[in-house]
Amino acid sequence: MSKETKKYRHYINGEWCDASDGGVIKTLNPTTEVVWAEAPAATVEDVDRAVVAAKSALYRGEWATMTASQRGKMINRLAALIRENAPSLGITETIDSGKLLTETRTQTTYVADYYEYFAGLADKLEGATLPIDKPDMHVYTLREPIGVVAAVVPWNAQMFLTATKLGPALAAGNTVVIKASEDAPAPMFEFAKLVEQAGFPPGVVNVITGHGETCGRTLTSHPDVSRVAFTGGPATASRIIQNTARNFAMVSLELGGKSPIIVFADANIEGAVNGIIAGNFGASGQSCVAGSRVILHESIHDQVVDMLIERAKQVEVGNPLDENTQMGPLATSSQLEHVESIVTRSCEQGASLFHGGARPANQERGYFFEPTILGCPHHDFESVDHELFGPVMSVLKFKDPDQAISIANNTRFGLGAGIFTESLSLSHWASSRIRSGIVYVNTYRVISPIAPFGGYAQSGYGREAGSESLLDYTRTKTVWVNTADRPMSNPFIMR
């Protein structure tokens, strides 16, 4: 560990603190494999302190009495600080996770738009006056915050994945404990500095990190947590559902995927190839919507595969801080081993290795993996069935549109899907038949604060972004007012 190792601290109740037992997590730069920062590893006691702070801010003090418009203004202040600091936040995220600086910088700037979107919605949350079917009753509903929200995020896009939870949670008046990923926690602590600068009252936003089984489990099963917003893998999600069986917290789950990209015979091939590259080599394939099952019509299969191989050969793999790099390393050594082992086993099963399949020879250090293309004659290959979260696509072939849809739907996931065709009717037909939460037609890997994001089946439930997602951070209270000038009548009959 070098002398210049950065030291981060938890942000709890508006104060910076170490873990109660002094424990730390050392975080590696995946490009150099050198420890560059350390953060506290939250103990059960630390998690409890963060939740107690969040609960206290919810019911007492400035936040509890703030109007929705004031909350919106405060979120806008945070957005402005994020935009101003996007270049340095991008650098931190790139060093810690290996994602391209060109992407982390752009994405962090765009993250500010997410906060602005939810800031604008804060004072548009309305209840209703009900045209009730009883005389002398005035009945109305209120949209109230749910309570303490636990936001648990993975390492691959923490600024963005936090924004889709924290933005609506704060707009609706909740308080939040963010659990940063232990694999790359640094950007979240840089972000916490901006939360402090924006002037949120102590306890409204708390940022901690720690190991899944201590910090994550304690947080998501804490009796005072009422809402869990989780992004991560399905195995962890299943543990989180068990954890929330203790506190009955409402849960939303944004999980993994094995998304199909279908290229029909009439597609614009260049556009389709760009979509496939974006869906598989963008973020080194460490994207939940990675379009890792590429389903090509038999008439264009060879042409598209040849073009993909040519493009894969040209991908600049290297230091993610370099502006010309197109693919950085994977985030962790275990992630690299996971990808490598699935590719090896799939080849042993009979998949054709069209390109890549190994660590690049010219990278001496770092968790790099080549852009990889596998030809798979059918679905029974590990690379077709499992989420790799790496730069690996599995190419399949189809004869007619029905077969394409049946291959696309042959998965336990359902997050994204891509369709490339010049036919308007075919695109609508296919969009309606694919079982996934997001469908991209003649494009891929696009996001917006305005567009709901989320999956079907084992890709999770609940939607992030979009105005509907705000309602997921509220609950409805119904108020009955007897307006009659006589007392309530017979107490033994429910009317």
Q: Site for ligand NAD (CB under 6 A): which residue of 216, 275, 375, 391? A: 216
What gap in Å lies between CA 75 and CA 167, rounded to an integer? 8
What gap in Å lies between CA 451 and CA 224, rounded to an integer? 31
Q: How far is the CB of 455 from ligand NAD (least distance, A)?
A: 6
Where in 53-112 is the site for ligand NAD (CB under 6 A)? Answer: none
Q: Site for ligand NAD (CB under 6 A): which residue of 71, 239, 397, 445? A: 239
Q: By CB under 6 A, tell whether 152 contacts ligand NAD.
A: yes
Q: Which stretch binds ligand NAD (CB under 6 A): 123-131, 227-235, 270-278, 295-303?
A: 227-235
φ, ψ of residue 235 to 5 degrees: the values are -65, -40
What gap in Å lies between CA 449 and CA 170, rounded to an integer? 15
Q: By CB under 6 A, tell whether 232 contacts ligand NAD.
A: yes
- Number of Cβ within 10 Å of residue 430's Cβ equals 22
Strands (E) across 327-436 are located at: 352-355, 372-375, 392-398, 418-420
User: With contact defined as beta carbons under 8 Å apart, do 178 and 205 qualify?
Assistant: yes
What gap in Å lies between CA 38 and CA 392, rounded to an integer? 31
- Report the residue number, 63 or 160, with the smaller CB distance to ligand NAD: 160
Q: By CB under 6 A, tell whether 156 contacts ligand NAD.
A: yes
Segment holding 403, helix H or strand E: helix 401-408
CA distance readout (Å), 261 to 379, 417, 435: 14, 6, 13
Q: Which stretch binds ligand NAD (CB under 6 A): 94-102, 114-122, 254-262, 482-490?
A: 254-262
Q: How far is the CB of 214 from ligand NAD (least distance, A)?
A: 9
Q: By CB under 6 A, tell whether 328 contacts ligand NAD.
A: no
What gap in Å lies between CA 358 and CA 382, rounded to an integer? 17
Residues in contact with ligand NAD, counted by CB under 6 A, come to a total of 30
Segment holding 119, helix H or strand E: helix 101-121
Q: By CB under 6 A, tell whether 233 contacts ligand NAD.
A: yes
Where in 357-396 is the site for ligand NAD (CB under 6 A)? Answer: 387, 389
Q: Which two tokens stand for residue 100?
A: 């391209």
Q: Site for ligand NAD (CB under 6 A): which residue of 29, 43, 107, 243? A: 243
Where in 278-307 is the site for ligand NAD (CB under 6 A)? Answer: 288
* Number of continuous H segments (helices) and E segments (strands) in the chain: 15, 21
Q: In whole angstroms, what separates CA 323 from the centre of its chain? A: 25
- Report the residue number, 72 or 455, with the smaller CB distance to ligand NAD: 455
Q: By CB under 6 A, tell whether 256 contacts ligand NAD.
A: yes
Per-residue binding string, ligand NAD, 402-421, x by CB under 6 A, is -------------x------
φ, ψ of residue 190 to 5 degrees: the values are -65, -40
Q: Site for ligand NAD (CB under 6 A): which residue of 110, 117, 155, 369? A: 155
Q: By CB under 6 A, tell whether 255 contacts ligand NAD.
A: yes
Q: How far is the CB of 336 from ligand NAD (least distance, A)?
A: 13
Helices 269-281 and 301-314 pack at an angle, to 10 degrees, of: 50
- Report the residue number, 39 or 272, with the smaller CB distance to ligand NAD: 39
Q: Which stretch binds ligand NAD (CB under 6 A): 101-109, 252-260, 313-321, 471-479?
A: 252-260
What gap in Å lies between CA 239 and CA 391, rounded to an integer? 27
Q: How far is the CB of 254 from ligand NAD (least distance, A)?
A: 3
Q: How far is the CB of 321 from ligand NAD (least distance, A)?
A: 22
- Number of Cβ within 10 Å of residue 248's Cβ equals 10
Collapsing DSSP states into helix, strand and coil, what is residue 469?
A: helix
φ, ψ of residue 232 to 5 degrees: the values are 170, -155
- Report the residue number, 220 or 421, with the smaller CB distance to ligand NAD: 220
Q: By CB under 6 A, tell whether 469 contacts ligand NAD.
A: no
Where in 160-189 is the site for ligand NAD (CB under 6 A)? Answer: 161, 179, 181-182
Known catalytic residue at 17: no
Q: Which stretch binds ligand NAD (CB under 6 A): 105-113, 237-245, 294-302, 378-386?
A: 237-245
User: With contact defined as beta carbons under 8 Å apart, do 292 and 285 qualify?
Assistant: yes
- Report the residue number, 116 or 387, with the smaller CB distance to ligand NAD: 387
What gap in Å lies between CA 67 and CA 476, rounded to an integer? 18
- Report the residue number, 70 or 247, with the smaller CB distance to ligand NAD: 247
Known catalytic residue at 387: no
Q: How many CA atoms lie within 13 A of 245 on its CB side?
A: 7
Choice among 288, 340, 382, 387 that is catalytic? 288
What letter represents residue 113's amino acid? D
Q: By CB under 6 A, tell whether 154 contacts ligand NAD.
A: yes
Query: In terms of DSSP bridges, do strands 372-375 and 148-152 run parallel, antiparallel, or are they unpaired?
Result: unpaired
CA distance readout (Å), 137 to 126, 142, 168, 204, 491: 20, 16, 33, 37, 16
Choice among 93, 116, 182, 254 that is catalytic? 254
Provide the H-helix boundaries in 172-224: 186-198, 217-220
Catalytic residues: 254, 288
* Residue ranges binding ligand NAD (CB under 6 A): 152-157, 161, 179, 181-182, 212-213, 216-217, 220, 231-233, 236, 239-240, 243, 254-257, 288, 387, 389, 415
